[in-house]
């Protein structure tokens, strides 16, 4: 199938885009924003989405495609392509989880066209970038003609395929805390084959004190709830200790009780609960191993 007829616009600046979007929304027009197109175009082709108007954001790359180190944060523009996230030296040095997550996303066409902002706004509960954003405590900045607002990633994802973007807003930037010293990050996922959406995934960051004890942990699980689930508090009892594998497994066993997965042709709800525990454990173990390696350097 092919998409239904629509009007196409490609404004050359953010300000013109926001003004155009505000006008169409005020007139109650059905508008969609086109970034990488890896989700929108297939939906339009099978007519699950039939916008009257498509506003192409690709003319804004000069303004919205970047990775910048800003003190203790890493700022990533919404139109930064997946492959740029994977290869950027600032990402590799300060938020390696993002690069590792990108290695699990799709195939060459998706990596070359997909954008981090598009993935976040699309809010697929099994997607890697939303999971990483929640796990690392990222914030997102949204702009409209009247101004901007910033949200914690945990508040940005409202339900499956639903993010907190107003009709006249554009996501312009995501800000990630840089990885602390003596820390490691990791993602683990179970999928049918490489490049598929995860059936269940988990992302973790482990930070150690100078004596090797657990100082801080971040953890989130995706694919087993409607939105990525932050659950770092499960590791709080281990702070101040040298975590053993048995202690990690014991602390994370309750992940199964926190998730509320759906059943589908790929996995039952019970399978997803078991996978949530296992992926959380694998991501945490790997992050801990990497933190210990950095501690030894």
Query: What are the structural domains, with CATH classification, of the chain?
Result: 7-58 (3.30.43.10), 65-177 (3.30.465.10), 183-292 (3.30.390.50)
The pLDDT of residue 193 = 86
First-residue to last-residue Cα distance in the chain: 56
Q: What is the 3-state secondary structure (H, E, C) of the chain?
A: CCCCCCEEECCCCHHHHHHHHHHHHHCCCCEEEECCCCCHHHHHHCCCCCCCEEEECHHHHHHHCCEEEECCEEEEECCCEHHHHHHCHHHHHHCHHHHHHHCCCCCHHHHHHCEHHHHHHHCCCCCHHHHHHHHHCCEEEEEECCEEEEEEHHHHEEECCEECCCCCCEEEEEEEECCCCCEEEEEEEECCCCCCCCCEEEEEEEEECCCCCEEEEEEEEECCCCCCEECHHHHHHHCCCCCCHHHHHHHHCCHHHHCCCCCCCCCCHHHHHHHHHHHHHHHHHHHHHHHHHHHHC
The pLDDT of residue 197 = 83
The pLDDT of residue 1 = 74
The pLDDT of residue 107 = 83
pLDDT tens for the chain, 297 residues: list them: 799 999 999 999 999 999 999 999 999 999 999 999 999 999 999 999 999 999 999 999 999 999 999 999 999 999 999 999 999 999 999 999 999 999 999 888 899 999 999 999 999 999 999 999 999 999 999 999 999 999 999 999 999 999 999 999 999 999 999 999 999 999 999 998 887 889 999 999 999 999 999 999 999 999 999 999 999 999 999 999 999 999 999 999 999 999 999 999 999 999 999 999 999 999 999 999 999 999 987
């Amino acid at each position: 199938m092919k998409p239904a007829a629509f009007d196409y616009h490609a404004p050359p600046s953010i300000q013109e885009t926001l003004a155009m979007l505000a006008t169409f929304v005020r007139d109650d027009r059905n508008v969609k924003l086109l970034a990488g197109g890896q989700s929108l175009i297939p939906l339009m082709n099978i007519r699950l989405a039939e916008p009257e108007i498509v506003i192409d954001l690709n003319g804004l790359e000069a303004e919205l495609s970047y990775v910048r180190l800003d003190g203790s944060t890493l700022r990533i523009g919404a139109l930064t392509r997946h492959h740029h996230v994977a290869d950027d030296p600032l990402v590799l040095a300060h938020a390696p989880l993002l690069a590792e997550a990108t290695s699990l996303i799709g195939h060459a066409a998706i990596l070359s066209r997909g954008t981090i902002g598009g993935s976040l706004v699309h809010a697929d509960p099994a997607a890697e970038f939303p999971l990483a954003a929640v796990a690392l405590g990222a914030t997102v900045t949204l702009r409209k003609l009247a101004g901007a607002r910033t949200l914690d990633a945990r508040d940005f994802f409202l339900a499956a395929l639903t993010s907190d973007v107003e009709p006249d807003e554009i996501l312009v930037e995501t800000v990630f805390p840089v990885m602390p010293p003596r820390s490691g990050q990791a993602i683990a996922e179970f999928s049918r084959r490489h490049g598929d959406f995860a059936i269940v995934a988990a992302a973790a960051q482990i930070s150690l004190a100078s004596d090797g004890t657990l100082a801080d942990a971040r953890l989130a699980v995706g694919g087993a709830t409607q939105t990525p689930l932050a659950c770092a508090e499960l590791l709080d009892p281990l702070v101040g200790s040298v975590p053993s594998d048995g202690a990690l497994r014991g602390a994370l066993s309750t992940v199964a009780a926190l998730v509320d997965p759906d059943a589908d042709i790929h996995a039952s709800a019970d399978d997803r609960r078991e996978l949530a525990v296992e992926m959380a454990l694998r991501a945490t173990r790997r992050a801990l191993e990497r933190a210990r390696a950095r501690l030894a350097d």
